[in-house]
Every structure is written in structure tokens, then in C-alpha cells.
Amino acid sequence: MRAVKEAEKRLFDKEKTKNYLTIDGIADYNEQTKALLFGKDSEVIQSNRARTVQSLGGTGALRIAAEFIKRQTKAQNVWISTPTWPNHNAIFNAVGMTIREYRYYDAERKALDWEHLLEDLSQASEGDVVLLHGCCHNPTGIDPTPEQWQE
């Protein structure tokens, strides 16, 4: 794989430091992320209420979110799809939350189990947390339609 070796060499040759990023991550990346999510002129940014956290991948982000939820809210339950990526349950168990499951995938039809998903989530209580995969559900790859998201 000569191309990979060449790419590695180019990166190595351009590298200026071996230092870690600051604990906040890349400041410009964080600011651009806030602007993308909320709109650069949004009230939440103008009033300085938006915060960003940079993480090591999706698992790291989910762990940060779980810790934040547990420490900053009164939420006790988290609803997680079945199936889900195996580490999702472990992350929320580690912070002491109770896992509740909602059906997501109909293996027989090889499709989203929309009716059961709604039925299960209708059992959620006020203050419960629902873990939704915004796109490309892991591990099924199946997403709700735009109409289902609206519902």
C-alpha cells in the first residue's frame, strides 16, 4: 500500500508538534460547530448559553453525554433501541442509569419497526432520556423517513 505510506510520510513531514490539543479541543472547530447547530446569530449563542465539547469519537461523545445527563439532570431512565451498538448499554450502565429498551428493527421485514417503536416510547416518563441515532442507525443502517421524524 504505497499510497498509504506516502500519505503518512507527507503528514509526518508537515507535522509541527507532538503536543496534545488543549482540554477544550480545537477552539475554531468548536465555534463553527455551535454556529452550524444553532445558527451564528441565534439567541442561544448571542446569550452565551451554548457550549461545545470535543470528544474522541462517538463512544467518547456518548460517555460525556451520559455523564452530563447523570450529573446535571434528574433523569434515571434511558431508552435505547434494540438492536443497538453493544457499548451503548455499557456506557449508560456505567453512570448508573436504568436501561429501558424500545424496539427498532423488524428482522422479518428487514425494516424499521415503527409501530412498536412508537408503542414502546409511549411508555417513557417525563424526564426520561431517549437515545436516537440521527442517521444511519447502528447497527441496522435503517433510518426513519422524513415523515416519520415529523410524526
Q: Are residues 79 and 39 in the same domain?
A: no
Please write the tens of the pLDDT for every residue from 85-100: 989 999 999 999 999 9
Domain finish residue from 19, 38, 54: 54
CATH of the domain at 63: 3.40.640.10
Q: Are residues 50 and 71 in the same domain?
A: no
pLDDT band (50, 70, 90) for residue 134: confident
Coil, strand or helix: which one is 8? Answer: helix
How large is the angle between the packed helices 86-94 and 57-72, nearest 10 degrees? 30
At 39, list the grid cell.
445558527
Contact between 102 and 131 under an 8 Å Cβ cutoff? The reply is no
H or E element that contains 90: helix 86-94
> Which amino acid is residue 140, in one-letter code?
T
Q: Are residues 1 and 35 in the same domain?
A: yes
Q: Please count the structural domains in the chain.
A: 2
Q: What is the pTM of this model?
A: 0.78
Compute the residue count for the chain. 151
Question: Which residues span the domain enclosing 44?
Answer: 1-54
Q: Are residues 80 and 142 in the same domain?
A: yes
CA distance 59 to 64: 9
